[in-house]
Amino acid sequence: MSNYIALKNISQSFQMNDSQVTLFEDLNLSIVQGESYAITGPSGAGKSSLLMLMSGLEQPTTGQGLYVKGKQSKTLDFLRADIGFIFQQFHLLPELTALNNVALPLKLRGDKQALKKAMTWLDKVGLSQRINHKPSELSGGEQQRVAIARALVFEPNFIFADEPTGNLDQRSATEIADILFSCCQENNAGLVVVTHSDVLANRAQHVFSLEDGTFKQASNETLKVIAC
C-alpha cells in the first residue's frame, strides 16, 4: 500500500475581535503518495491553513492528522522529513546562487553529494546554464524553477505548493505547471497544490474547493477512501 496522509475530523478556528472565526470543521481527507490534488477557493477561505495542517507544519484546533508510512501510523510531526514545500514568493536565499539554494536542504542533512544532486535537478528544470546566478539575476519563472528543484532535490514523498504560479505570466505558469507535475510523477511524489487557477487545478487527479467553511470535491469522481 502507498504511503498516505489522513486528516480526520479536522477543524481550524481563530479569534478575531473577540469573536471566533471557523475556517472549516470536521474535514476528512486522504492524500496518497503518487497522486495529485488541487484545492481551490476564494482568498481567506483557509486553503493555505489547510495546506499547513496537512503538511504537519501547523496544528489543528480539533481533529487528528496521521502519516501512514508502510505499516506504521504516526503523527504528522514525522512527516516533515518527507516533504518539500513550494511558495508563491519563492523564498530563495538572495545571497546564494541557484546551485547553492538547491543544494542547501541536502547540505543541512549532511549529504556529501549535495552539489552534484543539485546540478542534476537544475538540469531537470532547464536551468543548467543559470546555476551560478543569484535570485536577483533570474526571472520570476526561473526563480520558481529553482524553488521546485530545491523542493524535490531530496526526493520527498510529498510536495506541497502554495499558489506556485500566482506571480507568473501565463507562459511561465504553464511551463512551471508542466515541470511540477512531470517531476512529481517521475519521482512518485504526492502533490498538493493550492491555487486560484482553474487551469492549474484541472491538471490534478483530484480537485477540491474550500469556500464558506465547506470543503467538497469539485468533480464527480470518487476520492479514494482509505481506512486507517
**Residue 69 phi/psi, 5° resolution?**
-120, 110
Worst-scoring range by mean pLDDT, 36-40, 106-110, 118-122, 223-227? 223-227
**Model-level pTM?**
0.88
Q: Where do the structural domains in the chain lie, given as residue ranges?
A: 4-217
- For residue 141, the SS3 value is helix
pLDDT of residue 225 exceeding 60, the answer is: no
pLDDT digits (tens, 9 = 90+) for 91-133: 899 999 999 999 999 999 899 999 999 999 999 999 999 999 9
| Residue 147 to residue 76: CA distance in whole angstroms | 23
- Which residues are within 8 A (CB) of 154 and not within 5 positions of it... i.e. 6 or more apart? 84, 105, 106, 109, 111, 117
- Which residues are within 8 A (CB) of 67 and not within 5 positions of it... i.e. 6 or more apart? 3, 5, 56, 73, 74, 75, 76, 78, 79, 82
Candidates 150, 6, 10, 3; CA nearest to 86 is 150
Q: What is the DSSP letter of 3?
A: -
| Residue 228 to residue 139: CA distance in whole angstroms | 44
Tell me yes or no: is domain 4-217 CATH 3.40.50.300: yes
Contact 163, 196 (CB under 8 A): yes
Candidates 157, 185, 186, 188; CA nearest to 69 is 157
pLDDT digits (tens, 9 = 90+) for 178-198: 999 999 999 999 999 999 989
pLDDT digits (tens, 9 = 90+) for 172-181: 889 999 999 9
